Amino acid sequence: MRELVIATKNRKKLREIRQLLDGYKVKLYCLDDFPGAPNIKENGKTFQENAVKKAMRIAQFTKMLSLGEDSGLEVMALEGAPGIYSSRFGGWPKDDEKNNRKLLRLLKGLPLSERKAVYKSAVAVAGKEGLIKVVEGKCSGLIAYTPCGKYGFGYDPLFIIPKYKKTFAELGEKIKHTMSHRGQAFRKIKKTLIKLLQ
C-alpha cells in the first residue's frame, strides 16, 4: 500500500481530508506521526504559496509523497479579509469562535446582499524530487448574521450556500463535500493522486 503524508496538525482539517480521500488505497500520515517535523510558517502571500511550502518542506523532511493544503475565507465587504489570515483572524491562540465573532462584528449592520464571500482552497502535492502539482478550488456564499449548525469547522457555521439557504454547518459533511472549496480542489487533483498512488 502506498503512503501519503498530510502536512497538517489540524485535527479537524485532517479528518475532512481523510473523508475526501476515502476510497483511495493509501495509508495516511500527519505531522504528529513525525517527531521533529519542521514547524512551517504560513507566511506566503497566497493560499497556493502556503500549500506548496507545506508540501515541499514535508516531502523533503520525510522523503515521502506529501500533500499540503491551505484555505480560507475572503469577504468582499472586507476587501478580501481575512484571506490567508483566516485561521488566526481573531488573534492567538487560534480559535474558530473568536474568528467568527470578529467577522460578525466587522460586518455588523450590513444587509445579506453585502455579505458576499468566497471560500478558497489550494492543494499541493510534492515528492522528495520536488513539486508535482498544485490546484485550487473555490465556493461562493454569504455570511450569516449568527452561527448556525453543528457540523464542520472554521467559518462553516456562518457560510451560507444560497441554493440551500443554509450554512455548511447545517448542511453536513456529505453535502458540503460535493460543493466545497476543498472538495473541488481534491477532485481536481484526483487523477494525479491516483497515478501517484498506484
Given a cut of 80, is residue 23 above it in pLDDT?
no
Sign of CA dihedral 105, 110, 114, 116: positive
- The most confident of 7-16, 22-31, 34-43, 165-174, by mean pLDDT: 165-174
- C-alpha closest to that of 67 among 129, 122, 4, 136: 4
Given a cut of 90, is residue 163 above it in pLDDT?
yes
Q: At 1, is the pLDDT very low, low, confident or very high (cuts 50, 70, 90)?
A: low
pLDDT more than 70, % of the chain: 99
Selected residue with higher pLDDT from 16 and 159: 159
Given a cut of 70, is residue 157 above it in pLDDT?
yes
Look at residue 18 in the predicted model and tell me its pLDDT: 85
pLDDT in tens, 136-148: 999 999 999 999 9
- The most confident of 14-18, 80-84, 172-176, by mean pLDDT: 80-84
Within 55-198, strands assigned E span: 66-75, 116-127, 130-143, 159-161, 166-167
Average of per-residue pLDDT values in the chain: 93
Look at residue 167 in the predicted model and tell me its pLDDT: 97
- C-alpha closest to that of 176 among 12, 166, 132: 166
- What does the chain come to in residues? 198
The catalytic residues are: 70
pLDDT in tens, 43-89: 899 999 999 999 999 999 999 999 999 999 999 999 999 999 999 99
Specify the pTM: 0.91
With residue 101 as reference, give the H or E element that holds it.
helix 96-106
Tell me how crowded residue 76 is: count the other CB atoms within 10 A of its CB. 14
Cell numbers linked to 174: 456529505
With residue 3 as reference, give the H or E element that holds it.
strand 2-6
- Angle, in degrees to the nearest 10, between helices 181-188 and 11-20: 50
How many CA atoms lie less than 13 Å away from 127 in the CB half-sphere?
9
Given a cut of 80, is residue 196 above it in pLDDT?
yes
Check if the beta carbon of residue 4 is closer than 8 Å to that of residue 59: no
- CA dist., res. 4 & res. 143, Å (int): 35
- pLDDT (mean) for 107-121: 97
